[in-house]
Each structure stands twice: as structure tokens, then as C-alpha cells.
Structure 1
Amino acid sequence: MLKTKNRSVFFGLAAWTLAATLAGTASSAAQAQSYQLLDLGYLGGGPGGFFSQATGINAQGQVVGISSAFDNGASRQYGFVWNAGSMSPLLPLGNTGFTSYTGGINNAGQIAGTSYTAGQAAVHTVRWQLGNSASTDLGTGLAFSFGNAINNSGVIGGHENNQAARWSASNTKQLLPSLGGSQGFVYGLNDAGLAVGESLTIADVTSRATLWNAAGQASDLGTLAGGSFSWATGINSAGHVVGASDLNGNPNISHATLWRNGQVLDLGTLGGQYSDARAINTGGLVVGGSYLAGDTVQHAMLWNGSTLLDLNALVNAAGAGFAYLEVATALNDSGQIVGNGITLNGQTHAFLLTPVPEPQTWLLMFCGLAGLALLRRRKAS
């Protein structure tokens, strides 16, 4: 007969063994992570239509993008922030009623974007703060500038008059060099201040994915084998960069690309000739869009570190009112994904995907709790 203490240990080990066995069974049954899909809606309708598009998400699950709106009898397009189930407009400079756009949102609720100035004389980079309706103008006179990304330090990346630019948290502008050509654009930033985008090369012969270091020096990230064009759209804390590259000098035949540890990796497509990666998180998950076979329909995609997946296969799109998810544009480190989908009635709406805990997670939790309860009962006896 086992002593009471040894029996407690025995039953505890048995519970954990059962948990591990069940978890292994569940893991083999689960083909991939599944998600809860939410339609984020739109600000308003009118002659301009009923649409929204997501451009960024932060750690709190707050989402930014652009949406149709109907304001004072006129159709507008406003940047929006979606927070805790509610979508609010980000008004243009001076609340002039003209168009505004968003580029991204950081964990402090700072939002980078773009707005027409009064009279639509120019377009300027703008900083908004969640909870504050005022906008900060980072532009210069009649110059056209765009805020495309923001990091957690409040640094904004974009371009002014087609020259790559970075604005500090104190709103000081730094123009960045190209790779020898006449234009450059920043599309992504990480918290170390590294910026990525694209730049024209000498004599504007081609455009290459570009990395600007903290000092502002530009580096050519290169292309996939046989390629001539490339562009970069996102960078994570490890300095891994995503974007796309052509394969044969034709930018219409391009593949999602990952620049990692000196390698240029082809992430492939979902069957078509074109795919592009839009963002990468700390865990190395990559999101974007890819055409299916026949190159007539694009689907949102996820690269999980080894396999390129169609996000439509991981959700109940019709159950949430979507015909299909078209492109994924951003994600956070919790694995939440935002993007744009086509609804059942043909509209474009922003969506939010939230990971559903995998079966083995619940099994481990249940069996662990059962094991602890059993141990307590044995000790009590």
C-alpha cells in the first residue's frame, strides 16, 4: 500500500501525464491557429460609399485606418481609431472637413498619419493622440508629406516631396538619403529607430528595399534571385524585414520576401504570381496578401515561420458577414491581425482577427487544475 505522501505525488504525476497525452492528441488534430473574426464597420455612408480599411494595431488591440464618412452633407474620408468596440474619426488639420489618413498607432496611443491642410493646399504629416481630438501638424508649407508608420518612442516615418523622412518624438524632421536616385519612402519602423521602405537607385534605374539605420545611412537590402525591384514595408525588434521582390524584372510577378540574418527568403504565394508581406511581429509571424491561382482574387495570408497560410481557411468569414478576407495589413505581438475584407454585399470593411486559444491550452489548464485539486484532497485526507 502506498503511503499517503507518495500517493499524492503519484496522482499528481498521473494528472500531468494525462494532460500531456491529451495535449499531444489535440495538437496533432489542430492543423493551424484559428481566429475570431470581427467586422469593424465604418464611420458613415453617403455618396462616397460604405467602406473602411485598417492600417495599424497596437498592443492594446486599438486599430487605426481610414473610412468613409458623411459630414455636413458631403462625402469624406477620415482616418479612424477603433477602441473597445467603437470607431471614432480622426479629424483633419484645423477640422477643415477635408480628408485624413492614418499610418499606424503605437502602444501609447499616438497615431501617425496624413491630412489635407486648409483649402487642400497641401498634404501634411500629422500626429494624433488617442483621447485628444486635436492634431499636430508636422508638415512644411506647401510641401506634400506623408506619415506612414510610428514606433513606441513616437518616431514617425514617411516621406516629404518624395524624399524619405523621419520625425522625432519632439517633431524634428530628418530627411533621409536615397540609394542614389531621386525618390525614397519610409513604410516601417522599429523601436530601435531603424526605418525601412524603398528608394530609387542611381539614374532611377530601379527601386530597391531600403534600410536606414539610426544615423540615417541607407542600405540596399537586395532582391530575390533574378529580381530587379524590391520594397520593404515592416521591421520587427530583431531587425527582420518584410516586403516583396520581383523574380524576373517584372514587378507584377513578385513574391512576399523576408530579409533575415543576411538571407533573402521567398515566402511564396497562395497559388498566384503575386504576393507581398505587409508586417512582421516580434515572434516572426508575417502577414500580407497573395493572389490565388489564376491571379483574379487576392486573399489575406499569414506566414507562421514555416508555412504560408490562407487566413480565410482559419476563420468563419461568412459567419461574420464577409465573402473573403482580401489582405492583412498589420499585427501585434499577441497575434491579433487587422486588414481588409470584402463583405457579402461587396463592400470593403476593416477586420480584426483575435487568436482563439488552441485546444491543448484548455486541456493543460483543466488537467493542471484537476491535478492540484486531487493533491489538495489527498493532503487533506
Structure 2
Amino acid sequence: MPRSLLVPLALAVALPLVTAPAAGADVLITELPGLPGYPTHRTVGVNDLGQVIGAAYGNGPPRGVHWTPGGAAVDLGTGNPRAINQRGQVLVVEAKSSVGPYVNQPRIWQAGAVVDITPRGSGWVVAEAINAAGEVPMTYSTSSSGYHQERAAVWRGGRHEALPLSEPHLFVDAVNDAGVVVGSKVPMFAGDRYAFRCAGTTCTRLATTPGTDAYQLSAINEAGVVVGNKDGQALRWEGDAVTVLSPDGRVANGPQALNERGDVVGVTTDASGVRRATLWPGGGKPVLLDVPGPAEAVAVNDRGDVLGWSSADDPDAPRAFLWRNGKRTWLGSLGGAHSLPVALNNRGVAVGESTTAGGVLKAVKWTVADERPLR
């Protein structure tokens, strides 16, 4: 396969190394360049501008990477990128110390500018999401001597806005563009385990389901629909009601488990005990995707395209696919057996990782042709 020459830039360290047709005629797979000296790179997300984020590993602390739409790699410094919004703002969280004192600090990167959003007096800060306005929900310990998430806040309008929640353990998992935050609470010892929704500084409990496990929320859309999991059940909240999507399944992790149409993706276990990639259309019956199991769906975009993987051929080598309008397309690899997708945008660009024929793991993006107009 042809390889492009490396082009030195001030921040962009390289151009795409490999571009070639994948298994399907309408799919192009591109190897994303790595940071020099780092053998392993993984992607985390992609926005509709075609900007990709991920991290480089294997040479000291991990470093964040931002890939431009043209494929150039920008070094974001030490830390792990967690999310990117449609404006190109990247949420990065850096573990300064994880063995005591416990110090974990978030920041927002955009076009080379960095804003530290660490709450004053905090220790271990957990932040996983950023919305289109640059708002970031977070939980944190009140000192570096412990790692229990005792407080919650939202970085909003250049300052921290405290949420009326306290005591461990708090989790804030997702935020929509209206600034509505969802999360869950797990008491350290006895007490209620519940999921909650916060609009501004008003937090209310979500409807409950039977069981003893903690709630794990994945996503909220602009209509206020929330999805998550508990006790091996895939759940959907709408208004004051909760629906069990599957009594033996799981909603995918992350904001792309749910789209603006109300479609949800994840996995269910069929009667034979095989994990099947599943789509729960908004207002419709569940659909087991035409993909051999074991398989999982990991993301759905606003057009209804579903991204996922199957390990039916080899349990140690997942194989990436895109499901569109009832048709499955294998996305292909860089020559190896392993291709694992993680995120998908509304323009048909998916990102993930793949092995080369020599077994080396690389960050990749797949561009899938789509003749439908983008609304």
C-alpha cells in the first residue's frame, strides 16, 4: 500500500499513512498517523466536522491526540481525551497522581488554547462529556486524600455551578445541548441507589426499576430521552416513565447509544445465549441486526446508521460493521484480523482501531459513502 511522506508542521506531526479501499466498494479506510515514539494509538470520538480525538500510549503517560479532517495529528499534551463537541472543543482529563494524593484534572482544548476547569480544592475529578456550548458536568472528591466522588458541578459560562448533590458516590454521565445533566448515586454503605436528572440546579430522581445494582446511564438527547442499564436490563426513560427495552441486554456506553430520533443501540442475549447487536428504534420494536454473534452495536447517528462489531469468526478479533437501511457492510481492516469501531458521525465517518498484516495496532477512520442529503 502506498505511504505518504511525513510533513513537519508546528503542531501537526504527520499526515495519514495508509489510505486504501476496505472490504466494501463504498468504504475507504485510512490509518491515522501517530505521535513519534508512541507505539499504540486509540481513537475516542469524531464530530461532524471530521475532527477525531484519541490517545497515544506506550512511552510514559498517555498523550491526547487531535486529528484534523485532513488527517494531521496534533499533540494535546499528557492526559486522555474524553469527548469532542461540534465546535471542536476537546475535553481532556489528566491523572496527575493516582496512588495518593489523588489528583485528576480536566481541561478544555480548542485550536491550541487550553482552559483548566478543575474545581478549586478538589482532588480526583471525573468528567466524561461536553456539550455544544462547552458545558462539562463533573464529580469530584473534596480533597486529594481520597478518591470518593462527593460533589457534583457543571462548568458553565466560565465558572463552576454546583449541583445540589452530595456524599459518595456520585456519577454524572451525560449532558445534552440544553444543559440537562443525568447521572446516578450509589451510597457508600446503605441507602437508595437511584438515577437523576438536573436542569440548571434543580435535580430530580428518575423513575426506578426493581433490582439491587447501581444505575449506569449512557446518554440523553435533546428531547430529554435518557438511556442506561441496571441489573442486566437495558432501560429508557421518557418524561416520568421508564421502559425496560430488554430484560437481558445492555445499552451501549457513551452518548452515541441514543440519537435524536430516539433510536437506541446495544446488545441483547438471544435464546441460545449468544450476544446480538440490537437496535431499539424510537417508538418501534427491537431489531436484531443481520450480523453473526457474538456482536454488539456501539453507536447510532442521527440518520439511523448503526456502528458495531462481530467476533463470530474469532473471539479475539472483532470485525467492524456499519448497518444502514437494513444492509450490513463490513468496514474492513488495515490487513490484520482486528478492527474495532468506537464512534460515528452524521457524515458517514467512523473511527476505531485496526491491526496491520503484521499485527500492529493503529488508529483508523472509515469513510462510508452516503448519497442521502445531510439535513
CA distance in 1, matches of 2:219, 2:75: 25
**CA distance, structure 1, for counterparts of residue 115 and residue 35 of structure 2:** 19
Kept after mapping to 2: 8 A contact 1:53/1:67: yes
How has the CA–CA distance of structure 1 residues 343 and 173 changed in structure 2, closer, same or farther, with 3 Å as cutoff? farther
Counterpart check, 1:152 vs 2:132: yes
Corresponding position: 1:256 with 2:259: no
Q: Give the TM-score of the pair, scaled to structure 1.
A: 0.62
Aligned match for 2:155, one of 162, 167, 190: 167
Aligned to 2:4: none
- Structure 1 letter corresponding to 2:303: G
Give the structure-2-normalised TM-score: 0.63
CA contact (8 A) 1:80 1:87 kept: yes
Greater RCO between the two (CA within 8 Å, min separation 6)? Answer: 1
Q: Does 1:111 align with 2:90?
A: yes
Q: Could you tell me whether the CA contact under 8 Å between 2:173 and 2:217 is conserved in 1?
A: yes
Structure 1 residue aligned with 2:340: 326
Gaps of 5+ in 1: 1-31, 92-98, 363-381
Deviation, 1:273, is 6.8
The answer to which of 336-345 and 214-223 deviates more is 214-223
Identity within the alignment, %: 25
The amino acid that maps onto 2:66 is V
Q: 2:367 aligns with which of 346, 354, 357?
A: 354
Larger Rg: 1
Contact persistence 1:236–1:280 (CA under 8 A): no
Whether 2:170 is the aligned partner of 1:189: answer no
Aligned partners of 1:303, 1:241: CA distance in 2, in Å? 23
1:87 equivalent in alignment to 2:76: no
Contact 2:119 2:160 in 1 (8 A): no
Q: What's the Cα RMSD here? A: 4.3
1:283 aligned onto 2:299: no
- Paired residues for 1:174-213 under 5 Å: 174-175=162-163, 177=165, 182-200=168-186, 203=189, 211-213=197-199
* Contact in 2 for aligned 1:275/1:291 (Cα 8 Å): no
For 1:153 and 1:243, locate their aligned partners in 2 and report how far apart those are by CA, in whole Å. Answer: 24
**1:314 maps to which residue?**
330
Secondary structure class of the residue paired with 2:154: strand
| Cα displacement (A) at 1:87 | 0.9
- Deviation of 1:65 after TM superposition, in Å, equals 1.5
Following superposition, the deviation at residue 78 of structure 1 comes to 0.5
Query: Residue 254 of structure 1 contacts residue 276 of structure 1 at CA under 8 Å; is this kept in 2?
Result: no
Task: Report what 1:234 is aligned to.
Answer: 219
Contact 1:198 1:231 in 2 (8 A): yes
Q: Per-residue deviation at 1:127?
A: 1.2
Q: Distance in 1 between matches of 2:203 and 2:358?
A: 48
Deviation at 1:60, TM superposition (A): 0.7
The Cα offsets for residues 77-117 of structure 1, whole Å up to 9 and x where unpaired, read as 111111121111112xxxxxxx4111111222211121244
Counterpart of 1:51 in structure 2 is: 40
Within 2, Cα distance between the matches of 1:275 and 1:230? 20
